[in-house]
Amino acid sequence: MLTTNVEDRFVQAGFPEQSVFYLEGRLTHRADHTPLQKQDLAEITSGDQLETAGYPDSRQFQEKLRDLNRFLAAHPRFVILELGVYAGNGFLRPLISQMLQAFPASRLAEFNLQPNPVPVQIR
């Protein structure tokens, strides 16, 4: 599962944490990747204290990226379910386009309030 959901909803819904790849980290974890407890929330005074700060530079992100690349190499046919992504998203939209171009047997299924433009060459 590849997600930008920073609220950790997929794990809360029962997906195994080791199978979820967070592109931007989680707001439910500290910068050191330990889970935040409700009683600890008062200690958080800055976004820099959360996992989302500097996440792409972390060892955890790099490990998940290796896992994702291994999965894609083994399963070049996949479906991307795009749920509620803003058309102007400058981070996720280019990533989806790159994945679809790199894996022509893959497909995109959008579930957004407004359709997002997909370049003609990958439509």
Query: pLDDT tens track of the chain, all 123 residues?
Result: 888 888 888 888 999 988 888 888 899 999 998 999 989 888 999 999 999 998 888 998 899 889 888 988 999 999 998 888 777 777 787 888 888 899 999 998 888 777 666 655 554
Give pLDDT, residue 118. Answer: 61
Give pLDDT, residue 64. Answer: 87
Give pLDDT, residue 30. Answer: 92
Q: Is 66 helix (H, G, I), strand (E, B) or coil?
A: helix
Give pLDDT, residue 79. Answer: 92
Give pLDDT, residue 106. Answer: 92
Query: DSSP string of the chain?
Result: -EE--TT-HHHHTT--GGG-EESS--TTBBTTSPBPPGGGGGG--SGGGBTTTTGGGSHHHHHHHHHHHHHHHH----EEEEES--TT-TTHHHHHHHHHHH-TT-EEEEE-SSPPP--GGG-
Q: Tokens at residue 51, please?
A: 């996992």
Ordered by start, the domain boundaries in the chain are: 1-75, 76-123
Give pLDDT, residue 2. Answer: 85
Give pLDDT, residue 116. Answer: 66
